Amino acid sequence: MSWFLRNIDLVAVALGQHVAIALTALAIAFAIALPVGIAAARSERVYGVAMGVAGLLYTIPTLAFLALLIPLVGLGRTNAIVAMVAFSLVVLIRNVATGIRGVSPDVVDAARGMGMSAWQLLLRIELPLAAPVIVAGLRVAAVTVISVTVVAAYINAGGLGTLIFNGISNDHAPKIWSGALTACALAVAVDGMLALVERRLARARLG
């Protein structure tokens, strides 16, 4: 505990890096998953292919994936971000697609009857109604990305895992505790926050 308090600035820097890497990966993954998910909602075939490919990527063990990318992109942050994007695609695409498919056909018909174009229908009806399910996907993806970032410290991506690996190699338990517990706290806090957003959106949708 005293090591943690004396080195709080060190932990804060690692935490900042951790959040920055995780957010970058999440933003890129979402930018890919949103259009793919929309397409998958409309076509069973796109859905099948996207789920097959993304599901395969998701199954690859974290450290093996980071290692397999080394011959292609080397060590460091790029490698980590590519791996995290690959890991988050499956849940994001699935939730965008199921969210949109869950919109009642009556609502879609009514919107069409009011003369909405396909774009208006997507932006003003389908995506807002699918928002709680999409946020549920973001929540799982955020937790995944935070978890992968811990491991990515081994390939020099930075973040809280750096404290853990330093602690392991110097046999310095307080460093391990500080890195690991901060990472756990971050994951639980982000999960809880997004759960709250998810519930708010679901309620707004009903009311």
Partner 1 sequence: MMLVDAWHYLTAHPAQFGAALAVHVALSAAALVIATAIAIPAGIYAAHRSGVAFAAINAANIGRTLPSLAVLALVMPLLGTGFAPSLFALSLLALPPILLNTLAGMRSIDADIVDAARGMGMTPRGILRRIEWPLALPVIFAGLRTAAIQVISGAVLAAFIGGGGLGDFITAGIAMMAVPQLLVGAIPVTLLALGADYAFGALQRRVTPRGLG
Closest approach of partner 1 to the CB of residue 176, in Å: 5
Among 56, 107, 193, 204, interactor with partner 1 by CB under 8 A:
56
Sign of CA dihedral 185, 29, 80, 69: positive
Please check whether residue 111 is in contact with residue 155, taking contact to mean a CB–CB distance below 8 angstroms: no
CB-nearer residue toward partner 1: 98 or 103 = 98
Among 34, 82, 184, 202, interactor with partner 1 by CB under 8 A:
184
Whole-angstrom CA distances from 165 to 7, 19, 84, 129, 161 are 16, 18, 20, 44, 6
Q: Is 173 in the site for partner 1 (CB under 8 A)?
A: yes
Query: How many other β-carbons are positioned within 10 Å of the β-carbon of residue 113?
Result: 8
Q: How far apart are CA 84 and CA 191, in angstroms?
A: 17
Q: Is 120 in the site for partner 1 (CB under 8 A)?
A: no
CB-nearer residue toward partner 1: 29 or 143 = 143
Of 95, 91, 93, the residue nearest 59 (C-alpha) = 91
- What mask, x for binding partner 1 by CB under 8 A, covers residues 132 to 171? -----------x--xx--xx--xx-----x--xx-xx---
Among 23, 181, 193, 196, interactor with partner 1 by CB under 8 A:
181
Q: Is 183 in the site for partner 1 (CB under 8 A)?
A: yes
